[in-house]
Amino acid sequence: MKTFEMRTAIHFGENALGRLKEIPYKRILIITDPFIAKSSMIDLITEPLQSAGKEYDLFSDVVPDAPVDKIAEGVKKFLAYQPDAVVAVGGGSAIDSSKAIREFALKINPYGKVGLIAVPTTSGTGSEVTSFAVVNDTAAKVKYPLISDSLTADEAILDAELVRSVPPSVTADTGMDTFTHALESYVSINHNEFSAALAEKAIEICGVFLLRAYLDGNDMHARRKMHVASCLAGLSFNTAGLGITHSMAHQLGAVFHVPHGRANAMLLPYVVEFNADINKKSRSQKEYLPAVKRYSNIAHILGLSSYNKVMSVNSLVNWIQFMLKEMDIPMTISEMGTITPDKYFGAIDRMAEAALRDSCTPANPRVPTKEDIINIYTRLWQG
């Protein structure tokens, strides 16, 4: 038996932030990052709360990738303030930190039900609707997803006005994160009709609107579409899971601080080739792996398809590489120019082991060995 459930009420469209006046909570802890806390964006959150007579306090020390020491600081603040709801405002880092803070704080002092309202300010992770919170164990240099229904937000508010200020490089990285969620979910061994429908729509939107949002951040039609795509892709992978692009990206984030979406974008062409295994000359057409058919469906949605499935998969790989070039995302680690070969190759073995253990790996359509993962990391150095 399979179950498809959407636990989060999603408020979206014009003036979605108006929902903050109506939420059934009185004492709110806003959790965000310092950039957002200092920008005018925070007023868009506090004004509706104030006008509805709600009390609030702010924890604004979130840093990228949700390191555990910052989560511990947030837990202290939470326990001292004892809110009846958390409003998480920011990208995946702020939303994941908020999920973990609420979860751990209520384990220490289960004083009552505390709501979680997620307000994304990037169009990327879909964290506002997922039961995942990716945390960074900085001492061990490992990033891993916590997965539990209890992490899921009660409400998500999608207001594209909050993403208007996202700079092009973050639009590119987070947009490719959305695309990777949809694609990995679509080919996952746990895909189903519901996850596939959500992924297909997210991919269609990325195909038309991601480059537009990158080229003109004030193109609010493109921004609104990408904000919805990010949420659709989150709903999709929440039920079907992800794959080794994410398992491997988590390690590049933990060890070398490569932004999450960027790491996914760079790895994706290699993982598609690995999962499709289309270059294996000994195979006859009918023996191609199941992912080949699914990738070629995606090529079709992007308008790239050919009557030949292998050519379609190649077109998909070329399309991903085209997007990277157009959006100035480096194609290789060496092109980034920030990581020395010694450090990179010295870390590969440990990153491969951690990637194999990552909870995204079991859903990958092709079972990887440690050598397979090492091969992909090695190719990523120089293409």
Ligand X SMILES: NC(=O)c1ccc[n+]([C@@H]2O[C@H](COP(=O)([O-])OP(=O)(O)OC[C@H]3O[C@@H](n4cnc5c(N)ncnc54)[C@H](O)[C@@H]3O)[C@@H](O)[C@H]2O)c1
Chain residues that interact with ligand X, rule: CB under 6 A: 33, 35, 64-66, 90-94, 96, 121-122, 124-127, 130, 132-134, 162-163, 165-166, 170, 174, 177, 260-261
Residue 189 CA, distance from chain mean position: 19
Q: Taking contact as CB under 5 A, which single stretch among the options 29-37, 80-88, 170-178, 297-305 is the one that binds Zn ion?
A: 170-178
Q: Count CB neighbours of 219 within 10 A.
A: 16
Give least dist CB 316 to ligand X, A.
21
Give least dist CB 177 to Zn ion, A.
4
Contacts of 322 (CB under 8 A, 6+ apart): none
The amino acid sitting at 122 is T
Q: Which is nearer to ligand X, 96 or 204 (CB)?
A: 96
Return d(Cα 37, Cα 59) in angstroms, integer: 9
Per DSSP, 67 falls in state B
Give least dist CB 43 to ligand X, A.
13
Place of tokens 């594209």: 160
By CB under 5 A, how many residues form the interface with Zn ion? Answer: 1
| Partner from Zn ion, ligand X, none binding residue 162, C-beta < 5-8 Å depending on class | ligand X
Give least dist CB 250 to Zn ion, A.
9
Q: Which is nearer to ligand X, 30 or 276 (CB)?
A: 30
Return d(Cα 115, Cα 249) in angstroms, integer: 30
| Partner from ligand X, Zn ion, none binding residue 12, C-beta < 5-8 Å depending on class | none
Give CA separation, 151 vs 8, 193, 263, in Å. Answer: 11, 24, 24
Q: Which is nearer to Zn ion, 174 or 296 (CB)?
A: 174
Task: For residue 358, state whether it binds Zn ion (rule: CB under 5 A).
Answer: no
Q: Which is nearer to ligand X, 66 or 202 (CB)?
A: 66
| Partner from Zn ion, ligand X, none binding residue 132, C-beta < 5-8 Å depending on class | ligand X
Contacts of 324 (CB under 8 A, 6+ apart): 176, 265, 266, 330, 331
The amino acid sitting at 288 is Y
Return d(Cα 111, Cα 106) in angstroms, integer: 7
Contacts of 62 (CB under 8 A, 6+ apart): 31, 32, 33, 34, 70, 74, 90, 93, 94, 97
Return d(Cα 56, Cα 46) in angstroms, integer: 8
Q: Which is nearer to ligand X, 84 or 159 (CB)?
A: 159
Q: In angstroms, how far apart are the furthest CA atoms of the chain?
A: 69
| Partner from ligand X, Zn ion, none binding residue 217, C-beta < 5-8 Å depending on class | none
Are 114 and 86 in contact by the 8 Å Cβ rule? The answer is yes
Among positions 84, 96, 159, 177, the unique one binding Zn ion when judged by CB under 5 A = 177
> Alpha helix (H) ranges present in the chain?
34-38, 41-51, 68-81, 92-108, 168-187, 193-215, 220-240, 244-256, 260-276, 290-301, 309-326, 333-336, 341-357, 370-382
Give least dist CB 111 to ligand X, A.
25
| Partner from Zn ion, ligand X, none binding residue 134, C-beta < 5-8 Å depending on class | ligand X
Q: Which is nearer to ligand X, 278 or 360 (CB)?
A: 360
Q: Which is nearer to Zn ion, 230 or 312 (CB)?
A: 230
Task: For residue 128, state whether it binds Zn ion (rule: CB under 5 A).
Answer: no
Contacts with Zn ion, 188-227, as mask; x by CB under 5 A:
----------------------------------------
Q: Which is nearer to ligand X, 134 or 278 (CB)?
A: 134
Give least dist CB 381 to ligand X, A.
22
The residues binding Zn ion (CB under 5 A) are: 177
